[in-house]
Amino acid sequence: KNEVEQSPQNLTAQEGEFITINCSYSVGISALHWLQQHPGGGIVSLFMLSSGKKKHGRLIATINIQEKHSSLHITASHPRDSAVYICAVTLGSSYKLIFGSGTRLLVRP
């Protein structure tokens, strides 16, 4: 079993829809990260969370430490949101990132 599990693996939405991507982890963490990767490879760090909720524009990330679960929400989705979204965790007191397999999102106009 992978230490970081994401769902769904693929997601197609219509422009304007509310989108949720889920991430569950099975290890002790010091932080959880949501990353965005566009075709061509560049990765952008969207959020780093250790508790609670963060919001940036139309993106919202939440984490429940007790349930070892995090969600990334996109409100009013737009075709430019089409990308791969990756959940990653920093293990305990180490400096090691463990990645989920990613969610490929396609937003149709």
- Letter for the amino acid at 89? V
State the nearest-atom distance from the C-beta of 87 to other proteins, in Å. Answer: 11
Interface with other proteins, residue 102, by CB under 8 A? yes
Site string for other proteins, 5-44 (x = CB under 8 A): -------------------------xx-x-x----xxxxx
Helix, strand or coil, per DSSP, at residue 22: strand
Interface with other proteins, residue 97, by CB under 8 A? yes
Secondary structure of 53-69 in the HEC alphabet?
EEEECCEEEEEECCCCE
State the nearest-atom distance from the C-beta of 91 to other proteins, in Å. Answer: 9
What are the counts of helices (DSSP H) followed by strands (DSSP E) for the chain?
Answer: 0, 11
Interface with other proteins, residue 1, by CB under 8 A? no
Distances (CA, A) of 66 to 46, 53, 69, 87, 93: 23, 14, 8, 17, 18
Q: Which has the closest alpha carbon to 75: 19, 21, 35?
A: 19
State the nearest-atom distance from the C-beta of 69 to other proteins, in Å. Answer: 20
State the nearest-atom distance from the C-beta of 94 to other proteins, in Å. Answer: 5
Query: Which positions touch other proteins (CB under 8 A)?
Result: 30-31, 33, 35, 40-45, 48, 86, 88, 90, 94-102
